[in-house]
Structure 1
Amino acid sequence: MNKPQVTIIVSQRERFSYTRESLESIYQHTPVTFSLVYVDGGSPRHIQRYLKEQAQEKRFQLIRTEQYLSPNQARNLGLQQVNSEYLVFIDNDVIVSPGWLDSLLECAEETKATVVCPLTCIGQPLGETIHLAGGEAHIFVEPQEVGVKRRVYEKHYFVNRKVTDVRDQLHRQQCEFAEFHCMLVRSEIFQQIGLLDEGLLSTREHIDFCMTVAEAGGTFYCEPTAVVTYVPGLKFELSELAFFMLRWSDAWEIASLEHFSQKWDLTTKDKYFKKRYKRMGHRRYQAFLKPLLSSLTFGQNPLWLERIAVSLERKLNHYISDRYTRTQAVAKSVRPQTTAIINKPVRELVSTVNSLEGDK
């Protein structure tokens, strides 16, 4: 059999409860031959059993760790197993549509792009509301009386617009960034830039990756004939909530923002960063705390109770992230603790892995 042209790397974004729906959509709507690597970072036992069964049945590679992983840690575990011309990063809460991968590959072949992103929609009904159709991201250098000031410029195209309202404006176009919800990447770029930056635990990792690729001479396109849908949602189960709260913890977000600013010589006093510090914890509030309070107060959500709940939740969040850091030694001990890889012949761990390791 011919070696697949593309390897799909699936990793968790912020939850586990949409695993089945997302994985089934990939196998249902992807007729082109592909390899698949699934990185399972600490999912609950019923999800672990499901993935093990699916890996044996569909003969994809499953990497399991018993601890939670940050997104870039998970992607790097998958990335080191790639031995194909292209790879796709895709989150485990994304539903793909028919022909999605064919369209991404066609765009990459015709434009010679380094990275191609699909039209990424959000929520139910699938494919109706746009989350991202490409965008712009770069460092803007602003002259000062003494020296210069470096700012991040970031713009998303068609956010929250209905596809039907802007369909005539959606066409293949060059852009400056993609998001890790789903993106196709030429594997060879990692021989230039190395692995993804694991200092970015929860945020800015897509901007960092795309600016790094651009610095290396890479190009980006958005291909709107490829459509995927990111489906947010949180199941009120302990294992799901624990991972979600760590994934969007204050500690991980602050560490990520500080790392990003230092790496790109930016100041956290800039409004780009101030906005993110001001909104610290908003994901936890919107997805977990607000629905919980609404159910307990029959939709009343009195302000005094909200203030108490926010304060208590923040203390709990700090406890969760502190405990994880103490017990897992996040950045240094993840890879050695990875369990055996399922259904992966040793012969495939060859030149690409060696070259990636050599560039670290």
Structure 2
Amino acid sequence: YDHRFGSGREGDISYLKKFEASYGFQVIEIPAQEVDEVTISSSKIRKALEAADILLANRLLGHPFSFTGKVVEGNRIGRTIGFPTANLEIEDPYKIQLPEGIYAARCGKQPAALYIGSRPTLSPNGKRVIEVHLIDFVGDLYHQDLTVEVLDYIRPDKTLEDLESLRKQISADKAEILRRFPELESTENANPPIMPMTYDAHQDHAMLHSVHYETAVVILNYNTRRHLEQYLPSVIAHSPGAAIVVADNGSPDDSILFLKEHYPQVILLDLKQNWGFAEGYNRALQQVSADYYVILNSDVQVAPGWLEPVIKALKADPSLAVAQPKILAWRPGAGVLPSDGEAYQFEYAGAAGGWIDLLGYPFCRGRIFSQREQDVGQYDTTEECFWAAGAAFFIRAELYHKFGGFDGDYFAHNEEIDLCWRLKRAGSKVSCVPESVVWHLGGGTLEYENPRKVFLNFRNSLYSLLKNEPWSKLLWLLPARLLLDGLAGARFAAKRQFKAIWAIVRAHFSFYNHLSDTLEKRRKVRQIIAQYQVGPENKKGIYSGSIILAHYLKRVKKFEDL
């Protein structure tokens, strides 16, 4: 129905029909085919496969994606560890555009584990291979043609320490495939509805809630089509198996049109107006069913395998509520993934995990105020912190909703600190998992010393103190903050940033004007914490001194020197 061909794609069905009589053929136009209101196209199927969204690709195809190869001789290492594999020689291997990793598959009726990758554990610089382990199969397949049906994505490829580690990992993969296999076969037979890839957030809520994901990467967008164009490809390429959701906050630019045209596999939520970061995410996440939410800024470049270490940490420790990757600063103008081993500064927002001091001022492992450290591996151990950065914020979905999500009145900035604070008061953990790495442009919406950002940071910090600190501390803390915020204003005056001074004044007046509302929130927060308490208040990530005194008087520039 929409086929085009020839120079400049000028040929179409109407063009062909002009020649029916002259050349004795008939043109039959096939109407658009839809699956649950999603128009099927080869580009949508191809992009779903490239993103390892196998369930979606198979639903659009109407059958499992499959390919056939001849079984050839391999190095026979698999059989030495109890998992013999059939090495496949594909006539057109470039057509198998699945990301490297492990997949649940089927050969005939036989459950199978499909591996696509370069075998980094066995040969660090090896070439890409396609191997299949037929689970519990006994027999000789050499020189036979083997058809593989791909049913689901399991995990990305990774380097393991030795053959014993490889054996254990394959055993775990086999168990996971066998666990999923009956459901995958019943799902195929039942032919369930798929998620529409673009839709209006005010419609089809039942359809959206009918699909549950393990991990959903959710990007809130406001007028940043330029960032989506540069950074979204890395998120799609390196997040196999995860749902990719873009929630648009009523952008006046052409973000929505761009996404529909270029990324039909992305789930698009049109929120119709600019709700701000905090309330925008609240409204978006109400419509996404998942075990884990990954809140990601639109100006973040992700590394291969960035999801797995953090999700693994969350699965391993039920008390871990929130986590973040190591966040490095992306240099403006960079067009490719930063090279391994290249030194980068930590990013302002989050770095290697957020802390607060005795007075409630935030800083990070790797960043104290505007002083950012170079990443040389000094914070490459997973450590508890006080808050995780909203730029790349992993959270258990259940806890996000139980604890009320972000405070929508913050609009933007400090909402992640407030939410982490509530969770830690209930006994949960927050950690940085530096095995996962992302690069953040930073200041993509507002520059760091933009008066609007200054206003939100100062006001929202006061909100968080009043909602979370005990009264015995607030009696002296709020006057102290008034004094210190005044000193911050003097510092802006020295730099002739008079709009920033007025922003601090406005922040305090706004805080006092909303005092009764904030006190009511304080009461509700206390009730929620009492209801979902899992242990004593977790105070890890709180510096017992003043970061202002340490930095400006004692000249401490590095977190490790505190």
TM-score range for the pair, normalised by the shorter chain length = 0.5 to 0.7
What residue is the counterpart of 1:73 in the other structure?
Answer: 279
Check conservation: 2:246, 2:266, Cα contact below 8 A: no
What residue is the counterpart of 1:7 in the other structure?
Answer: 216
What residue is the counterpart of 2:345 in the other structure?
Answer: 129
CA separation of 1:259 and 1:175: change in aligned 2, threshold 3 A: closer
Structure 2's unaligned 5+ residue stretches are 1-54, 56-183, 185-211, 505-531, 533-562
TM-score, length basis structure 1: 0.64
Q: CA separation in 1, counterparts of 2:255 and 2:415?
A: 26
1:107 pairs with one of 297, 313, 335: 313
Q: CA RMSD in A?
A: 3.8
1:203 aligns with 2:413: yes
TM-score, length basis structure 2: 0.43
The superposition leaves residues 21-72 of structure 1 with CA deviations (integer Å, 9 ceiling, x where unpaired) of 22111012222x11122121132332232123345x1141322323x33210
1:264 aligns with 2:468: yes
1:36 pairs with one of 236, 244, 265: 244
1:21 pairs with one of 216, 227, 230: 230
CA separation of 1:14 and 1:314: change in aligned 2, threshold 3 A: farther
| Pairing of 1:141-152 with structure 2 (within 5 A) | 151-152=359-360
Check conservation: 2:405, 2:419, Cα contact below 8 A: no
CA separation of 1:156 and 1:5: change in aligned 2, threshold 3 A: same
Q: Tell me which of the two structures has the higher relative contact order, counting C-alpha pairs closer than 8 angstroms and 6 or more residues apart.
A: 1
Check conservation: 2:228, 2:299, Cα contact below 8 A: yes
Q: CA separation in 2, counterparts of 1:11 and 1:25?
A: 16
| Pairing of 1:74-223 with structure 2 (within 5 A) | 74-112=280-318, 113-124=320-331, 126=338, 128-131=344-347, 132-137=351-356, 140=358, 151-152=359-360, 154-159=362-367, 160-163=372-375, 165=376, 167=377, 169-223=379-433
The superposition leaves residues 127-186 of structure 1 with CA deviations (integer Å, 9 ceiling, x where unpaired) of 722121113347x5xxxxxxxxxx4264411222222x2x15411222222110102111
What residue is the counterpart of 1:274 in the other structure?
Answer: 484
What residue is the counterpart of 1:48 in the other structure?
Answer: 256
SS at the partner of 1:177?
coil
Q: CA separation in 2, counterparts of 1:182 and 1:104?
A: 11
Q: CA deviation at 1:9?
A: 1.2
Structure 1's unaligned 5+ residue stretches are 141-150, 235-239, 286-302, 319-358
Q: CA deviation at 1:273?
A: 7.9
Q: CA separation in 2, counterparts of 1:273 and 1:122?
A: 32
The superposition leaves residues 107-137 of structure 1 with CA deviations (integer Å, 9 ceiling, x where unpaired) of 2122332111100111226472212111334
- Runs ≥4 in structure 1, deviation > 6 angstroms? 312-315
Q: CA deviation at 1:275?
A: 4.3
CA separation of 1:311 and 1:211: change in aligned 2, threshold 3 A: closer
What residue is the counterpart of 2:163 in the other structure?
Answer: none
Stretch of structure 1 that moved more, 206-215 or 152-161: 152-161
CA separation of 1:13 and 1:268: change in aligned 2, threshold 3 A: farther
Larger helix share, 1 or 2 = 1
Which amino acid in 1 is paired with 2:355?
E
Q: CA deviation at 1:190?
A: 2.7
SS at the partner of 1:256?
helix
Check conservation: 1:196, 1:209, Cα contact below 8 A: yes
Q: What is the aligned length?
A: 274
Q: CA separation in 2, counterparts of 1:50 and 1:118?
A: 28
Check conservation: 1:115, 1:183, Cα contact below 8 A: yes
Which amino acid in 1 is paired with 2:345?
T
Percent of paired sites with the same residue:
20
What residue is the counterpart of 1:342 in the other structure?
Answer: none
